Amino acid sequence: MAVALPLPGSAQADGGVFHIVKRGETLWDISRMYGVSVEQLAKLNELSDPNRIVVGQKLVIREGEARTHIVQKGDTLTSIAKLYGVRVQDLVALNELKNPDRLSIGQELIITPRVQRTHVVEAGDTLWDIARRYQVTVDAIASVNGLADPSRLLIGQKLVIPSIGGGSDSQAVAPSNRAGGQRLTLAWPLQGRLTSPFGPRWGRMHYGVDIAAPTSTPVLAAAAGTVTYADWMGNYGLLVIIDHGNGVETRYAHNSRVLVKVGEQVQRGQRIALVGSTGNSTGPHVHFEVLVDGENQDPLEWLPAKR
């Protein structure tokens, strides 16, 4: 059973808490876990029937105040993002900024919204898995929880999940200005059989498409860009990540060998890896993902139709 551990003071001060319902839990169990009453939870979450909650449902446990920043002379979105350990594009989205390059002195920006999430570590969890589940970065979780060694998690440990992404900085780009209003067209990373599409699979979300091919088949860059990751990454096995600019990123997983290095500029169709079955894999294939501003997209909507 998950045990409620004391939250860091900053989390108690800056944001509320919510809980994701797990199999077998009742509202009474959750109320005891957090030291609140069933009636409080029912009212806070507007539950018409407290006896009916479902696995995966998000319940607000405690509301908090939004964290904000008042723009000072010389502030930029980049400097503010670095100050709070968040991403520029998250600030743009959260504050619905039409022109990210124009800030006014005295303007109030929301840094984190009112409700802050928590996750209780379970057997087999890694920080990477948790970050993917909540769509934030490993660095953001490690920073807000003061983790000296992100690879060492304890079962039952309660982690505060930042409300927005964190991690590396990026240039603020207004959505209307992205690539002149045209969406990037990607090339298939290899020719092979599509074995698993994007969407729910085996009771959880499958964030990309799987393309089967023989071991050591060359994996090709879907578009020109900069390699930002080229190494082992948990369930992904050997992984290559390419940043194509304007918030577009592609990922190529389960490789047997990586042929590029971080920082390398690659061209569309360039060999970046060889097909393998590393990580959590059932056979040789490429797991291919497309992300825009950190959000996973259906790769088939970005790839040309197969003939």
pLDDT, average across residues 47-54: 80
Of the two residues 177 and 42, the one the predictor is more confident about is 42
Residue 141 CA to its chain's centroid (Å): 11
Q: Are residues 165 and 70 in the same domain?
A: yes
Reply yes or no on whether the pLDDT at 66 is more than 70. Answer: no
**CA–CA distances in Å: residue 187 to residues 40, 211, 284, 291, 303:** 52, 13, 20, 15, 6
- Count of alpha carbons within 13 Å of 191, Cβ hemisphere only? 2
Residue 176: Cβ within 10 Å count:
9
* Percentage with pLDDT > 70 across the chain: 73
Q: Over 90: is that where the pLDDT of 61 sits?
A: no
pLDDT, average across residues 266-272: 92
Q: Could you say which of 120, 148, 172 is where a domain stops?
A: 172
More confident of the two residues 177 and 251: 251
**Among candidate residues 83, 167, 160, the one with its CA nearest the CA of residue 117:** 160
pLDDT of amino acid 96: 65
The pLDDT tens digits for 182-223 are 567 789 999 888 988 888 766 677 888 999 999 999 999 999
| C-alpha span between 199 and 207 (Å, rounded) | 7
Q: Higher confidence at residue 66 or residue 187?
A: 187
Predicted confidence at residue 117, as pLDDT, reads: 64
Please indicate, yes or no, if residue 45 is contained in any of the structural domains.
no
Q: Is the separation of the CB atoms in 63 and 115 below 8 Å?
A: yes
Q: Which of residues 172, 199, 214 is at a domain's end?
A: 172
User: In this structure, is residue 56 part of a structural domain?
Assistant: no
Token pair in block for residue 227: 């390699």
Assess whether 224 and 90 both reside in one domain.
no
For residues 167 and 199, state if they share a domain.
no
Q: Is residue 35 part of a domain?
A: no
- Is 109 in the same domain as 222? no
Identify whether residues 140 and 168 lie together within a single domain.
Answer: yes
167 shares its domain with 97: yes
Q: Tell me if 282 is assigned to some domain.
A: yes
pLDDT band at 3, cuts 50/70/90? Answer: very low
Q: What is the mean pLDDT of residues 42-48?
A: 75
Span 124-176, pLDDT tens digits: 888 887 877 766 667 667 766 767 777 788 888 888 776 544 433 333 232 33
pLDDT: which is higher, 55 or 299: 299
Mean pLDDT of 64-78: 77
Span 274-282, average pLDDT: 89
Q: Which CATH number fits the domain that encloses residue 70?
A: 3.10.350.10
The DSSP code sequence of the chain is ---PPPPPHHHHHH--EEEE--TT--HHHHHHHHT--HHHHHHHTT-S-TT---TT-EEEEE--PPEEEE--TT--HHHHHHHHT--HHHHHHHHT-S-TT---TT-EEEEE-S--EEEE--TT--HHHHHHHHT--HHHHHHHHT-S-TT---TT-EEEEPSS--SS------GGGGGGG-PPPPPPSS--EEEE-SEEETTEEE-SEEEE--TTPEEE-SSSEEEEEEEE-GGG-EEEEEEEETTEEEEEEEESEE---TT-EE-TT-EEEE-B--SS-SSSEEEEEEEETTEEE-GGGTSPPP-
State the Cα–Cα distance between residues 45 and 63, nearest whole angstrom: 11
Range of the domain at 229: 186-301
Same-domain pairing of 132 and 231: no
pLDDT tens digits along 72-117: 888 888 888 777 767 676 677 666 676 767 788 888 887 765 455 6
172, 195, 226: which is the final residue of a domain?
A: 172
Does a structural domain hold residue 32?
no
Q: Are 214 and 126 contained in the same domain?
A: no
d(CA 243, CA 233): 17
Residue 243 lies in a domain: yes
**pLDDT value for 125:** 84
Domains held by the chain: number: 2
Q: How many whole angstroms separate alpha carbon 160 and alpha carbon 271?
A: 39
Q: Is the pLDDT of residue 248 over 70?
A: yes
Note whether residue 88 is domain-resident.
Answer: yes
pLDDT value at residue 183: 66
CATH of the domain at 222: 2.70.70.10
Q: What is the pTM of this model?
A: 0.45
Report pLDDT digits (tens) over 8-19: 222 233 445 667
* Residue 155 located in a structural domain: yes
Cα(307)–Cα(121) distance, integer angstroms: 45
Confidence of residue 233 (pLDDT cuts 50, 70, 90): confident
Query: According to the model, what pLDDT value does residue 218 have?
Result: 94
pLDDT band at 259 (very low <50, low <70, confident <90, very high): very high
Residues 93 and 149 in one domain: yes
Q: What is the pLDDT of residue 177?
A: 31
Residues 8 and 116 in one domain: yes
The pLDDT score that the predictor gives to residue 172 is 29
- Non-local CB neighbours of 285 within 8 Å, separated by 6+ positions: 192, 195, 210, 211, 212, 213, 254, 275, 277
Same domain, 152 and 6: yes
The CA angle 230-236-238, to the nearest 5 degrees, is: 35
Give the list of residues 6+ apart from residue 107 with CB closer than 8 angstroms, or none.
70, 71
pLDDT at residue 5 above 60?
Answer: no
Residue 59 pLDDT greater than 90, yes or no: no
Residues forming a β-bridge with 17: 62
Are 7 and 139 within one domain? yes
